[in-house]
Amino acid sequence: MDFRFELIMDYLPFFLRGTLYTIGISLLGILFGTILGLLIGLGKMMKNKILAFPFLLYISFFRGTPFIVQIFIIHFGVVPAIIGTTNGIAAGIIGLSLNAAAYIAEIFRAGIQSIDRGQMEAARSLGMNHVQAMRYIILPQAFKRMIPPLGNEFIVLLKESAITALVAVPEIMYWGRAFQGQYYRVWEPYLTAAFIYFILTLTLSYLLSRLEKRLATE
């Protein structure tokens, strides 16, 4: 097998720029997905079953359909309906955020419900209102327990971001496909892409494990 490093070198600037896009849309997906996930998780936990239902539906839909279907709906349907034209990067970020939010909502719910009921009762008995009790007592404890599953979800999201290549987000996989199309080569583009993703996920899991250790000793 001849492996042509010089072609990789040729494409390296594109891969590097693609890497920045991958990191960028992943970080935005994590950020918005986490905020949205917290809200949706809280929504699903509402005592009123009717009010909680839309949140339940949201979570079921995004967990029960393939990501590639979701992103096509957003790219070809939702985004044009809002801004009048397609926009791959917007669709990518929205898709990743909405999809991650469903999983993160469940992580939040599980984390919050894992905190002993007595904690909420003690906080309330001290005169704190529900919001104060959540903010000072429940969420800080729940958050620690959420870190490992959240970390997993972030890694999943980083890998899923490759699918946004299909809506023309110029990230790593997009350049891999362009590379293949231009030179009719398979090993060079996709091994390079795999290598970059691998470095990214390794770095992310290293950072997460450090955060976990730091919080554990606090």
Partner 1 sequence: MIKVEKLKKSFGANEVLKDINASIKQQEVVVVIGPSGSGKSTFLRCLNLLESITGGHVFIEGIDITAKTTDINKIRAEVGMVFQQFNLFPHKTVLDNIMLSPIKVKKIDPAKAKEKALELLRKVGLEEKADAFPDSLSGGQKQRVAIARALAMEPKIMLFDEPTSALDPEMVGEVLEVMKQLAKEGMTMVVVTHEMGFAREVGDRVLFMDGGYIVEENVPHELFDNPQHERTKAFLSKVL
Query: In the complex, which residues of this chain contact partner 1 (CB under 8 A)?
Result: 116, 118-119, 121-129, 132, 136-137, 140-141, 144
Closest-CA residue to 100 (of 155, 29, 167, 164): 29
Q: Could you count the other beta carbons within 10 Å of the beta carbon of residue 48?
A: 7
Q: Which amino acid is at 54?
A: P
Closer to partner 1 by Cβ: residue 141 or 180 = 141
Closest-CA residue to 16 (of 138, 172, 189, 192): 172
CB of residue 33 to partner 1, shortest distance in Å = 25
CB of residue 38 to partner 1, shortest distance in Å = 18
Closer to partner 1 by Cβ: residue 32 or 143 = 143
CB of residue 205 to partner 1, shortest distance in Å = 25
CB of residue 144 to partner 1, shortest distance in Å = 8
Closer to partner 1 by Cβ: residue 13 or 212 = 212
Closer to partner 1 by Cβ: residue 66 or 140 = 140
Closer to partner 1 by Cβ: residue 124 or 159 = 124
Reported as half-sphere exposure (CB side, CA atoms, 13 A), residue 48 has a value of: 4
Written as one string, the DSSP assignment of 84-139 is: SS--HHHHHHHHHHHHHHHHHHHHHHHHHHTS-HHHHHHHHHTT--HHHIIIIIIH
Tokens of 79: 């985004």
CB of residue 65 to partner 1, shortest distance in Å = 37
